[in-house]
């Protein structure tokens, strides 16, 4: 059983909701990322989404764009991202790690080599923002033998026919993008999200995560009520940016923010 599957099974058994924080690998600096990951797990994170920094993050709002810029300015490259995961795995072999990024850094390495390195490092799945199912066949063929999942996004503009196509190829879980916009937007409509999640549930038994626009305990709780997992990115990255120069303070802030989300989700 994959770590992702085991994680969602445990969540379901305990009648809980999964908390998935996102940070960009190498932000504010590559040597701080592993520490942050452990901190987030002890504060209550169930799965970690780790961003691969990219020069042209087209689907991201300003907060995560700047995280990419900070990470790249510190020289973070794809091999560093694998090293970070590898180091994290020396102390934690249970928490699933999903790499989130854009296709070009993967293409340049070659699908086979990228997937080999990812699997070896202890990665469990990939979210590739600009790789829709139509263009995914080859990558999925590389991922399958390693037991890695490609996590697909579904959005408010995904029509029925596409939804079916996505559910056919998806594994791990599905990530519902709660609004039309970039990461960090601020206009979440919980009722509309609930409606769409019901539509998706008609097509698949995979767990449903929701991301984009979840900024605090209150929105996490509201979304937790209707989904299986909640992804929090920009709100977390903002805190990293704010305390980038004081590592201890940053860890504390991140920890207490994750704890507040955990408490909110456990109250659902």
Q: Please give the helix or strand (H or E) that residue 128 lies within, else none.
A: strand 125-128
Residues 48/52/56/61 CA torsion (nearest 10 deg): 20
Asked if 185 touches other proteins (CB under 8 A), the answer is yes
Q: Look up 49 and say whether it is catalytic.
A: yes
- Interface residue with other proteins, options 13, 157, 191, 205 (CB under 8 A): 157
CB of 105 or CB of 147, closer to other proteins: 105
- Interface residue with other proteins, options 10, 31, 94, 138 (CB under 8 A): 138
Which residues are 202's β-sheet partners?
none
Question: Is residue 139 packed enough to be buried (19+ CB in 10 Å), middle (13-18) or exposed (0-12)?
Answer: buried
Which residues are 153's β-sheet partners?
175
Helices (H) and strands (E) in the chain, counts: 12, 9
Question: Is residue 37 a contact partner of residue 26, using CB atoms and an 8 Å limit?
Answer: no
- Interface residue with other proteins, options 56, 164, 189, 202 (CB under 8 A): 56
Backbone φ and ψ for 213, nearest 5 degrees, come out as: 90, 5
In the complex, minimum distance from the CB of residue 63 to other proteins, in angstroms, rounded to a whole number: 12
Question: Is residue 127 a contact partner of residue 99, using CB atoms and an 8 Å limit?
Answer: yes
Question: Is residue 151 a contact partner of residue 166, using CB atoms and an 8 Å limit?
Answer: no
Choose the stretch contacting other proteins; rule: CB under 8 A; options: 92-100, 148-156, 193-201, 223-231. 148-156
- Residue carrying the six token digits 């201890």: 248
Residue count, binding to other proteins (CB under 8 A): 46
- Interface residue with other proteins, options 74, 162, 243, 259 (CB under 8 A): 162
- Interface residue with other proteins, options 145, 159, 205, 245 (CB under 8 A): 159
In the complex, minimum distance from the CB of residue 38 to other proteins, in angstroms, rounded to a whole number: 26
What is the Rg, in whole angstroms, of the alpha carbon atoms belonging to the chain? 17
Q: Which of 60, 149, 221, 228 is catalytic?
A: 60
Site map for other proteins, 194-233, x if CB under 8 A? ----------------------------------------
Token pair of 74 as six digits = 């510190």
In the complex, minimum distance from the CB of residue 105 to other proteins, in angstroms, rounded to a whole number: 4
Question: Is residue 241 a contact partner of residue 63, using CB atoms and an 8 Å limit?
Answer: yes
Q: Which of 49, 80, 142, 221 is catalytic?
A: 49
Q: Look up 60 and say whether it is catalytic.
A: yes
Which of the residues 57 through 116 are near other proteins (CB under 8 A)?
57-59, 61-62, 65, 69, 72, 77-79, 102-111
Asked if 168 touches other proteins (CB under 8 A), the answer is no
- Residue carrying the six token digits 């979210």: 127
**Residues in contact with other proteins by the rule CB under 8 A:** 54-59, 61-62, 65, 69, 72, 77-79, 102-111, 129-132, 134-135, 138, 152-159, 162, 166, 177, 180-182, 185
List active site positions.
49, 60
């Amino acid at each position: 059983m994959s770590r992702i599957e085991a994680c969602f099974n445990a969540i379901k058994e305990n009648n809980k909701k999964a908390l998935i924080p996102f940070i960009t690998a190498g932000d504010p600096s590559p040597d701080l990322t592993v520490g942050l990951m452990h901190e987030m797990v002890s504060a209550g994170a169930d799965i970690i989404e780790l961003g691969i920094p990219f020069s042209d993050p087209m689907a991201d709002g300003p907060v995560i764009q700047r995280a990419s810029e900070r990470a790249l300015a510190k020289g973070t490259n794809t091999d560093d991202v694998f090293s970070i995961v590898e180091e994290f795995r020396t102390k934690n072999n249970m928490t699933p790690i999903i790499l989130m990024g854009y296709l070009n850094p993967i293409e340049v390495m070659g699908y086979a080599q990228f997937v080999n390195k990812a699997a070896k490092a202890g990665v469990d799945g990939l979210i590739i923002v600009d790789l829709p199912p139509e263009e995914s066949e080859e990558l999925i063929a590389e991922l399958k033998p390693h037991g890695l999942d490609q996590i697909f996004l579904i959005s408010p503009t995904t029509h029925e026919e596409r939804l079916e196509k996505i559910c056919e190829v998806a594994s791990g879980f599905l990530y519902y993008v709660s609004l039309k916009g970039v990461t960090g937007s601020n206009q979440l409509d919980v009722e509309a999200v609930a409606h769409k999640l019901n539509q998706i549930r008609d097509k698949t038994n995979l767990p449903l995560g929701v991301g984009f626009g979840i900024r605090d305990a209150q929105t996490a709780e509201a979304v937790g009520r209707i989904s299986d997992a909640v992804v929090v990115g920009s709100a977390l990255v903002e805190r990293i940016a704010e305390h980038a120069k004081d590592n201890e303070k940053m860890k504390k802030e991140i920890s207490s923010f994750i704890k507040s989300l955990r408490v909110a989700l456990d109250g659902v």
